[in-house]
Chain A
Amino acid sequence: MNTNIETFKYDNRIVRAFGIMTVIWGIVGMLVGLLAAAELFFPGANLNLQFITFGRIRPLHTNAIIFAFVGNGMFMGIYYSLQRLCKARMFSDFLSWFNFWGWQAIIVSAAVTLPLGFTTSKEYAELEWPIKIAITIVWVAFAINLFGTIIKRREKHIYVAIWFYIATAVTVAVLHLTNSMCMPWGWLKSYSMYAGVQDALVQWWYGHNAVAFFLTTPYLGLMYYFLPKAAGRPIFSYRLSIIHFWALIFLYIWAGPHHLLYTALPDWAQSLGMVFSLMLIAPSWGGMLNGLLTLRGAWDKVRQDPVLKFMVVAVTAYGMSTLEGPLMSIKMVNSLTHYTDWTIAHVHGGGMGWNGFLTFSMLYYLFPRLYKTQLWSTKLANYHFWIGLLGMVFYIIPIYVAGATEALMWKQFNKDGFLQYPNFLESIVQVVPMFRLREIGGLLYFLGVLLMAYNLYRTAKAGQFEPDTEAQAPALEKVSEQSHGTYGWHRVLEGKPLFFTALAVVSVLIGGMVEIIPMFLIQSNVPTIASVKPYTPLEVLGRDIYIREGCLGCHSQMIRPFRSETERYGEYSKAGEFVYDHPFLWGSERKGPDLAREGGKYPDAWHFNHMDDPRATSPGSIMPRYSWLLTQKMETDTLPARLIALRRLGVPYPVGFENGPAQKDLSAQADKIVANLKVGSVTTDSDKEIIALIAYLQRLGTDIKSAPVAAAK
């Protein structure tokens, strides 16, 4: 036995810093969410400012909550628990603070660029390429600090929470790098390297696993640490936690295509996504039960301790979300829920319940300990608990009702075989009261967070911060053959964190590779359509405006092969139609109608008037006004850079096209639209942004109308 006891200090400063920013960004992210939610029943809530329209602040809300609120919460919990589980201070204080300041700088840059319209449009990966590079650097710093701490640990065994942290560090890196591949055409603008179907698969492989490996695996690690700690009891079954870990990371990575069911993605990929999603129920519920059963014999504590109360709801919400998610991945169920508000309710159940409540429980657990005092008011924390819980209920239930209403109205036929509600707006008008109720739920939840912020502030004021906590542990002995015999051969593997990491990476990569590689190599997955041509220069500009304004936040461009959709929107979408789409713009949500076949449906003047005031052409519409498009000039000086970038990505623009011919083409098409507008009694100049947007909208879905023959090579 090693008697060489070492004394060392845990770094609490970094934990406190991440903790404070968790609260601050939580408040900011939720405020933006409240504004976005208000704009859905009061379109004028943006005060006609382009920077805070729904399309631009929706990604700001999702990024703020995921990467700022949950991200800081994750780092706070990891930096606290990792040191104690390894019985070692963090590997490098410099890297800890580099991680902290780098992450805050990234969040601030997101808060500036997203409202300005700099976005890739890829959900949860909207930040443009310089910020993506910064994310990579900061993440690598975090990973070095994580592995460095594990290597210098004084505890022989690597606890399961650390496995989850390792899986998070390596998988987020792989996902981020793969999905961020792009071709820059300006300091803050780029086009995705992938196109159409392939871009969609990579994006949702990323998007789904961002939920898995940013919102789930690190938080599961935190649950495995903080739940036993708060309950004062060992974890119910360590064996179950091992199965939970390996099964979860192996299965999760395959499930991405469930975001693309009934789209133009090949059927085999959709089926894989559905089957693996269903299998995910088993490990997820194993983890949930492991958490809840840890509390057996300690339920009396749950009645008194707000930390445990928040944890119980968090773990239960995890269980509910991970049951609902797989059920929504069943193709038949998905045909109803997809594009509706049901998905919004689902993600908020997970976000508010699992991530939110677990974060609150960690904050209530950590602040008294960091400040060596009692929580200022347990009563206030209990109020927070109940207000937060009520807020969740008031948020989620109306949105479930809205989702079900939308799904049923979109699919309803009358007895003569026509759509019962042919005008999409009818469904939106029906659910607007639910949007109002949702705002009340969100406000309650937000109020709870304010109570928590005050409580934590008073706790900090009452106590004295302990920057370093002294600890003692024997130095780590070298692993001997004898100790292998004591604990089994697993010890060999576990004792080598890098080998363990490699195994985890292989488990994670298998699913991604089996899905993504064939999609790129087998041409029959994307049957080409001869009549599909690259966008004209004016349409390219218009498409970039569509991306800038975040139109895909409300409008999909993917008609699924259901009669209810083909009757409403036209011919269902084909994979070959998107081969020049860098990035793809299929969307995931319909607050307005699908636009995949929008081209030619309405005259140019209708689009002009609709953008100026949507309620003038569509009474009851919840779309904001886009009046600035009528006055702002389109950015033609960057056209050559855009066309060159697209050509490098494989779009067949002739060499030299960008030097003259493109500008002539642009002017001719713009003049034609101006002439069309005149016919509709609208007078404007040909250099306005609205002209480019109209050109793009009128192009949508028109290619296959000219020659509908698809030739699979």
Chain B
Amino acid sequence: MEEKIICSMNSAGMCGVISICIFVAFFTGMLLWAFAKKKNYLDKMSSLPLDGGETNATDKIQS
């Protein structure tokens, strides 16, 4: 069935249309998602690697 549908369409046209639709939908969603984030969340996340929870001071060692 899928084969028939795909074969009945012009491959170049089909891929172009599908690609652009997926592309626009994906990036719209992603940007909305990224810009909807709250500042306190972003601040916390950007500092996350700095807190490893170690009880000793290995992180203070200078390379």
Contacts and interface: CB of A to CB of B under 8 A. Distances in A.
Q: Do A and B come from one complex?
A: yes
Contact of B49 (A159, A466, A486): A159
Interface in A512-550: 514-515, 517-518, 521-525
Given A306-B63, A487-B38, A518-B6, A224 B49 contact: yes
Given A487-B41, A488-B38, A510-B22, A365 B49 contact: no
What is the predominant secondary structure among interface residues of chain B facing chain A? Answer: helix
A518 B26 contact: no
A268 B17 CA distance: 12
B61 A369 contact: yes
B46 A235 contact: yes
Contacts, number: 150
Interface string A453-470: 000000000000010011
Contacts of B27: 247
B52 A239 contact: no
Interface residues of B, number: 43
A572 B61 CA distance: 62
Given A237-B46, A268-B11, A469-B54, A488 B30 contact: no
A267 interface: yes
Contact of B46 (A234, A268, A522): A234
A459 B63 CA distance: 10
A230 B33 CA distance: 29
A368 interface: yes
B44 A232 contact: no
Q: Interface residue tally of chain A, by bracket? A: 35 or more
A474 to B, nearest CB: 10
B63 to A, nearest CB: 5
B34 A368 contact: no
B18 to A, nearest CB: 6
A487 B30 CA distance: 17
Interface in B9-63: 11-12, 14-16, 18-19, 22, 26-27, 30-31, 33-38, 40-50, 52-56, 58-59, 61-63
B58 A488 contact: no
A261 interface: no
B55 to A, nearest CB: 5
B30 A229 contact: no
A305 B11 contact: no
A447 to B, nearest CB: 21
A407 interface: no
Given A305-B63, A471-B55, A472-B55, A518 B15 contact: yes
Contacts of B50: 228-229, 232, 234
A372 B62 contact: no
Contact of B33 (A228, A375, A490): A490
A243 to B, nearest CB: 5
Given A470-B56, A488-B41, A157 B48 contact: yes
Given A239-B42, A488-B36, A472 B14 contact: no
A570 B38 CA distance: 62
Contacts of B38: 486-488
A514 B56 contact: no
Interface string A304-315: 011100000000
What is the predominant secondary structure among interface residues of chain A facing chain B? Answer: helix
A157 B45 contact: yes
Interface string A344-370: 000000000000000000001100110
B48 A521 contact: no
Given A246-B30, A514-B22, A84 B12 contact: no
Given A272-B19, A369-B61, A159 B48 contact: yes
A515 B22 CA distance: 13
A501 interface: no
Given A87-B53, A518-B6, A234 B11 contact: no
A161 interface: yes
Contacts of B56: 469-470
A238 B39 CA distance: 10
A682 B62 CA distance: 70
Nearest to B45: A238
Contacts of B45: 157, 159-160, 238
Nearest to A269: B15
A603 interface: no
Contact of A365 (B18, B46, B48, B63): B63
A224 B50 CA distance: 11
A229 B49 contact: yes
B56 to A, nearest CB: 7
Contacts of A684: none
A632 interface: no
Nearest to A305: B63
A346 B50 CA distance: 34
Contacts of A373: 61
A155 interface: yes
Contacts of A374: 61-63
Contact of B37 (A81, A232, A490, A515): A490
A472 B46 contact: no
Contacts of B44: 157
Given A84-B53, A486-B40, A486-B41, 19 more contacts: A155-B48, A224-B49, A234-B47, A239-B37, A242-B37, A267-B12, A268-B11, A268-B16, A306-B63, A364-B63, A373-B61, A375-B63, A378-B63, A470-B56, A490-B36, A490-B37, A514-B15, A523-B7, A525-B11
Interface of A: 7, 10, 81, 84-85, 87, 154-155, 157, 159-161, 224-225, 228-230, 232, 234-239, 242-243, 246-247, 250, 254, 266-269, 272, 305-307, 364-365, 368-369, 372-375, 378, 381, 466, 469-473, 486-491, 507, 510, 514-515, 517-518, 521-525
22 contacts: A84-B53, A84-B54, A85-B48, A157-B45, A159-B48, A161-B49, A224-B49, A232-B50, A234-B50, A238-B45, A238-B46, A246-B30, A247-B30, A269-B15, A305-B63, A372-B58, A469-B56, A470-B56, A490-B33, A514-B15, A515-B15, A518-B6
- For the complex of A and B, list the 8 residue pairs with the smallest distance between their C-beta atoms, beginning with the closest: A268-B12, A84-B52, A234-B46, A471-B53, A238-B46, A234-B47, A487-B41, A473-B53
Interface of B: 2-3, 6-7, 11-12, 14-16, 18-19, 22, 26-27, 30-31, 33-38, 40-50, 52-56, 58-59, 61-63
